[in-house]
Amino acid sequence: MDLQALKNKYDIIGNDPALNEALETAVKFAPTGLSVLIQGESGVGKESFARIIHQYSARRQGSFFAVNCGALPRELVNSELFGHVKGSFTGASDNRKGYFEEADGGTLFLDEIAELPLESQALLLRVLQSGEYRKVGSNKVEHTDVRIVAATNVHLYEAVKRGKFREDLYFRLSAAQIRIPPLRDRKSDIYLLFRKFTSDFSEVNGMCKISLRPDAIRLLESYRWPGNIRQLQGFTQSLSAQVSVKVTPTVQRIELSAQELEPYMPREEGEPLPALYDGSQPSSAFNTEERQAIFKAIFDLKQEVEALKARLDRRELPSPPPAVQEEAEWQEQEEEPEQQHYVHLETPAHEETLSVRRNEEDLIRQALEKYHGNRKKAAEELGMSERTLYRKLPAEYRKK
């Protein structure tokens, strides 16, 4: 099984061993026909795993229905799941199919299954055991051939001990379990996901991508992300909207330090957020709105300076070459997209900044000379991967 191809197909980002194990387990369970219980916090992507199980099963030609049990009106749960006949209750003006009838021959994903009333749990257990059910208001026994993939964000056996979940249903479902780790246990994946989300935002809105310095990455990883991937995605989009600027020939990326990132980090009431302290003054010297305004002004000024430099240059900038489809920039190799012909370099003030107006070979030569032929450091200086650097090496360096 090509695990990376599977991740790409279902838009699953990360290389954490626990995540990989969960994916491998899902693929193993898929062809068995067993009911599967997926456990994980809200926002970890449980539905993607349910779709993988369906797609890799013999039922992949059948229907896949995802039902959020927590969103079903309590008085209509049985009607939604099993259907009803005309006149069975006020408002039942026609016969109606339920999800079990609609999904016959396919897969039914029951998310937040712990929210089902005990009565509905008993009816669900009967379907799992015999495939039989009755529509609301009917005495006729119906049959269905549906595979159940259930998911929960609570400790289901604790719910059993509290009398909130049927023990027999729990044991029926829990024979095949998959646990998806929360984002706080996948720290090495947090920045990878951040880069993916800021890259997506950049492409849609024509804005500069956001990258983080090492201290900012540590700050990002120190937060526990209770909303998991869903929360990180929303945070990244909000951050990009607030601090990014439109892409220009000389500005294609904005890099943030921990001090610049900290004002935008989410906070939970009653839980302090780790922050850097330089010994000069407390971080509360400015309130959040003031600090956001200051950083926004800095980035706006930076953009104006870059635009002024471009206007002062009498030579016209050449048009970028045609776009070439390559591996996404945010992925592990950090491949630089070919359409970004100009690399925005930010070097210390005491060093001469490599001019973006020189051709690529001159830039690469200077970087290699600066680091005495060290390709890794030269690639970091130029903001590209070693792989991209190797492809662009001048002829005299390819033999070294």
Task: Look up residue 206 and give its DSSP letter.
Answer: T
Residue 311: per-residue pLDDT: 54
The sign of the dihedral angle between the CA atoms of 383, 385, 386, 392 is negative
At 297 the pLDDT is: 59
Q: What is the DSSP string of 13-54?
A: ----HHHHHHHHHHHHHGGG---EEEE--TTS-HHHHHHHHH
Beta-carbon contacts of residue 132 (< 8 Å; ≥ 6 apart): 126, 141, 142, 143
- For the chain, residues with pLDDT lower than 70 are 1, 268-359, 395, 398-400
Residue 96 to residues 2, 123, 146, 204, Cα–Cα distance (Å): 42, 18, 18, 41
**In the prediction, which pLDDT does 298 show?**
60
Q: What is the pTM of this model?
A: 0.66
Please answer whether residues 243 and 254 qualify as being in contact, where contact means their C-beta atoms are separated by less than 8 angstroms. yes
What domains can you pick out in the chain, each with its CATH number? Answer: 3-181 (3.40.50.300), 186-312 (1.10.8.60), 326-400 (no CATH)
Q: Which pLDDT belongs to residue 74?
A: 87
Percentages helix, strand, coil for the chain (3-state, rounded to 5) are 45, 10, 40
Determine how many CB atoms are found less than 10 A away from the CB of residue 15: 14
The reported pLDDT for the residue numbered 369 is: 82
Q: What is the pLDDT of residues 232-282, one digit of tens each?
A: 999 999 999 999 999 888 888 899 999 999 999 998 654 444 444 444 444
- What is the C-alpha separation between 367 and 371, in angstroms, rounded? 6
Give the model confidence (pLDDT) of 332-362 as tens digits. Answer: 444 444 444 333 334 443 343 344 434 577 7
